[in-house]
Amino acid sequence: MLYIVITFLWTSILLYLLLGGADYGAGIIELFTSKRNKEVTRKTLYSAIGPIWEANHMWLIIAIVILFVGFPVIYSTMSVNLHIPLTIMLLGIIARGTAFTFRHYDAVVDDMQNLYNPIFAYSSFITPLFLGIIAGSAVSGHIDPQADTFLSAYIFSWLHWFSVSVGLFTVAICGFLASVYLIGETNEETERLRFAHKAQFFNIAAVICGALVFIAAYVEKIPLIEWVFGNWVGRIAILSATLSLVLMWYQLYQGKIGLLRPLAGFQVTMILLTTTYRHFPKIVILKDGGYLSLLEHGGQEKTMQALGVALLAGSIFILPALFYLIYSFQKKPLGYSDIQNH
Amino acid sequence: MDDFIAARSQMALSLGFHIIFSCIGMVMPFFMAVAHYYWLRTNNIVYKNVTKAWSKGVAIFFATGAVSGTVLSFELGLLWPGFMKHAGPIFGMPFSLEGTAFFIEAIALGFFLYGWGRFNKWFHWFTGVIVGVSGLASGILVVAANAWMNSPAGFDFVNGQYINIDPIEAMFNDAWFSQALHMTIAAFVATGFAVAGVHALMILKGKNVLFHTKSFTIAAIFGCVAAILQPLSGDISAKDVAIRQPAKLAAMEAHFETEKSASLIVGGIPDEKNKKVDYAIKLPGFLSFLAHGDFESEVTGLDQIPKKNHPPVAITHYAFQIMVGAGMAMMLIAILYFLALWKKQTWLRSQWLLKLFVAATPLGFIAVEAGWTVTEVGRQPWIIYNIMRTADAVTPMPGIAYSFYLFSAVYVSLAIIVIFMLYRQIKMVGKLYDHS
């Protein structure tokens, strides 16, 4: 049952990265769109994520619940030492979710939009930045439960080059996922081209940020190269991700869009796989070389049983409904009139 | 500000904020389902307009409730890591089920809000009902987790270790039923009266009268039925608390001395130092009756409880008075309303009844906030009753006061924006939803 719970945890993180990530990315794209094109981008974006965005963010809740029910020591250690980035991330989640809803549901469209729009765009950037920082910090070996100063316990646990580069890398990935996703959401040729350019931009950004992550890891003596390339799973995953990237760009230049989304999703899945595989079951690496492990720091047997059953039962309800929701709005996307007045 | 007080204040603020949105999020879908049903059955366009107008409100409230709920699931660890380290695996069961319920609510809301004209009309209607049912389930599950803090179960506490954990037994602890019942009904009372009050005001102003009358009637009937049931559920809760948490009951009633045929104290100012209550109305024997169903029975006072385990008496007592007072006022209005419906139809067209509803708009939520203050403050100094002290659970991180200020600023601004948006929604009814 422990392994079922761990599988659910990994899958929710992956789905949050893919679906929630594309969702954040939509806001990041808005941030990087010229004023002239913002309005039309917003409409495409709304028709693409309007009906499903709430569901996209549920994966974070599932992951956090698994963590605090099944792995309370890991949850509470991270909550203490990463208090500040977690708080910033939460403020980002509040700002983003409310601004997105408010700007659409405000009965009067006026200057208030100038308040909602930048809040939405900037928080779409900040939230995944800090999600990445938190993930980077967990494995960076900077978390020190024995630390005796405020700075070493609560600031330098997360504020270092490695985590920040992981944060930027996460932002680039979100932007990339969203651009690729949105290419298929519009029938307008010029707009499609614009999203293709955005995809290119974020792809390059991801490569640069990825390089930064490796450099930061090297400087901070984090054995990232060994984690990623030191085993067959990592090597195969990286190789196939790179090949699929080539295939994706080839498809895009051919003007075919059918395979774009699965390929982009595949690449991100491979990245998550390589970065977590070598670590498993260690999820938090501490400063003194100790670690918190999914296998050793899990809850008692009965808790895992109950949690596993709850997750399995839950997915029987959730998955079909979710697929049908996504399918319905893919088959017949929201039209302009729906956006104005549903 | 002391870090411990700051952590408690931040938690109270976050819960107090979230509870309003979750109540509305779980009750409004039922109002919508009724209006939607009438639209599908009668083809009266007003009902469709009402459903659509309400659904905009629900979308705003749901989004705000969803983010404030996400924040809470992190805040449990950010503020109370000592508690979560031990409690997580024990009381986590309702949370893992709640995750599912909440997820389904979000999916169903996607179908409902964007499904007009897209699906079979009864399937579309049904997704709206699912929003309500899963919202209600979420609420009940979260309250079950809170009930566990009042009535810990499903583990053995031996030498500071939590062993033999049974999460199912923990979920069905002794307090879950009475608390969940009381909270669920409270959500209907609060939302019903708040919605009815707003529509009553619009009727009085003579704007879109037909639209607002239909809306008012649906909300008022839900709210009034719940308001009449609520004292019964309150009685179940009181009898339960009297047995399980005598300190909480004693604080609620500012009942300092253990005595037989104890008096029910209404109002007054508790004086903790001299163990008395000034300016209160005393009803002899009624506290014994309320607590144990017998006017002669003995009710434990604070004197039987060690001083270090006393909850803050004044806050708990005032909050309890406010809750009961507001509840009684709403029950009276409910009785008048039903009287009007059955016997005195002329009252329905008179202004005074509508004015009463307008005056009662915030009463339900005041009662909800006061009720939560009673149950949370009344449990102090414990975070897990008789097992773990709140002070031992707080995060070691210094400077929580700043976090509290930050979250206060965010929640206050959010509250202002939400109120502003609702004001605009209501103002625009004539333009957007009801052209008559």
Which structural domain, as residue segments, surrounds residue A182?
2-219+286-331
Contact B81 A76 (CB under 8 A): yes
Chain A, window 98-127: residues with a beta carbon less than 8 angstroms from a chain B beta carbon: 98, 100-102, 105-108
At B164 the three-state DSSP class reads: coil
Whether B77 sits inside 8 A of A51 (CB atoms) is: no
pLDDT (tens digit per residue) in A73-109: 899 889 999 999 999 999 999 998 888 888 887 878 7
Per-residue model confidence as pLDDT tens digits over B267-317: 888 888 888 888 888 888 889 988 888 888 888 888 888 989 999 999 999
**Do residue B84 and residue A72 have CB atoms under 8 angstroms apart?**
yes
Q: Is residue A67 part of a domain?
A: yes
Q: Do B100 and A317 touch (CB under 8 A)?
A: yes
Cβ pair A68:B88 closer than 8 A:
yes
Strands B281-283 and B156-158: unpaired
Residue A158 lies in a domain: yes
Residue of chain B nearest A77, judged by CA positions: B81
* Kind plus residue range of the DSSP H or E element containing A274: helix A260-277
Distance CA A99, CA B54 (A): 20
Is A236 a domain residue? no
Q: How far is A167 from chain B (nearest CA, A)?
A: 19
Alpha carbon distance B295, B183 (integer Å): 27
Q: Which residues of A touch B403 (CB under 8 A)?
A: 87
Report the domain count for chain A.
1
Non-local CB neighbours of B178 within 8 Å, separated by 6+ positions: B233, B236, B237, B240
| Residue A187 CA, distance from chain mean position | 27
pLDDT tens for residues B129-148? 999 999 999 999 999 999 99
Nearest partner of B20 among B59, B64, B86, judged by Cα: B64
Residue B399, SS3 per DSSP? coil
Q: A204 in a domain, yes or no?
A: yes
Q: For every one of its 342 residues, what pLDDT tens digit does chain A have, with 9 covering 90 and above?
A: 888 999 999 999 999 998 888 889 888 988 888 877 777 778 777 777 766 777 778 889 889 999 989 898 899 889 999 999 999 999 999 998 888 888 887 878 788 888 888 899 999 999 999 999 999 998 888 888 888 888 888 888 889 999 999 999 999 999 999 888 888 777 778 888 888 888 889 999 999 999 999 999 999 888 888 888 888 888 999 899 989 888 888 888 887 777 888 888 898 899 888 888 887 888 888 888 888 888 888 778 888 888 989 899 888 888 888 888 888 877 777 665 555 444
Q: Is residue A139 part of a domain?
A: yes
How far apart are the C-alpha atoms of A183 and A203, rounded to whole Å?
14
Q: Which of B76, B116, B414 sits opposite A68 (nearest CB)?
A: B76
Using an 8 Å CB-CB cutoff, list chain A residues near B103.
Answer: 55, 58, 61-62, 314, 318, 322
A-B CB pairs within 8 A amount to: 206
In a domain, A38, yes or no: yes
CB count in 10 Å sphere of residue B321 = 20
**Angstrom distance (rounded) from CA A21 to CA A311:** 22
Residue A244 forms part of a structural domain: no
Answer yes or no: is A235 within a domain: no
Inter-CA distances, A56 with A62, A178, B112, Å = 11, 13, 17
H, E, C per residue of A64-118: HHHHHHHCHHHHHHHHHHCHHHHHHHHHHHHHHHHHHHHHHHCCCCCCCHHHHHH
Amino acid identity of A224? L
Ramachandran area for residue A236 (φ above 0: left; ψ -120 to 50: alpha; else beta) = alpha
Largest CA-CA distance found in chain B, in angstroms, rounded: 71
pTM: 0.91
